[in-house]
Amino acid sequence: MNYAEIKHCDIANGVGVRTTLFVSGCRLHCPDCFNEVAWDFSAGKPFDDAVADAIIESLEPGYISGLSVLGGEPMEPENQQGLVGFLERVRDRFDRRGPGAKTIWMYSGHTWEQLAPGGAWNLGDVTDRILDTLDVLVDGPFIKAEHDITLRFRGSKNQRLIDVPATLESGAGIVEWVDDPVFSTHSLED
């Protein structure tokens, strides 16, 4: 697997200050994609143990809220194989709650229904293991006709912010991630 970019101190792709990994490779080719350069699977540099170790180290400071993974498309089969062990390392190192907790967010052009067990893009054990590491999945392709600059952490209205642990636990449908009330109720007039 290759990666196109790593951003440190990113505040656009999840809550708080984050390290963001942009993997290379995407077959979806959404019109007006913001990261077309990452469609090519060979773009960027190889994602190796040294890169993984550096990302984990970048997550150590208390002011870092977590890791976000975008693309390209992280859920392409080749990228799932390259990410699963890394994401499990991050989850093993950083709890979801308590002191030193970090969250893992992933953005995919595939929908939850496609990625969940039994879905067309679920590769079985590998996909299930990735989903088990995630706190939030932002799902669905970018659709220009649905573009809305007022949306937090997503580009188009069709995209959902899914609370992955709650959704997996419920077994009865998607549980949407609930934004921090400070941000969701604050308006520009305040």
pLDDT in tens, 4-40: 999 999 999 999 999 999 999 888 777 676 676 777 8
pLDDT in tens, 71-96: 899 999 999 999 999 999 999 999 88
Top-ranked range on mean pLDDT: pick from 133-137, 143-147, 149-153: 133-137
Q: The whole model's pTM is what?
A: 0.90
Residue 181 has pLDDT above 90, yes or no: no
Give the whole-angstrom CA distance, residue 154 versus residue 104: 16
Phi first, then psi: give them for residue 107, nearest 5 degrees: -110, 125
| Pairing, β 2-10 against β 45-46 | antiparallel
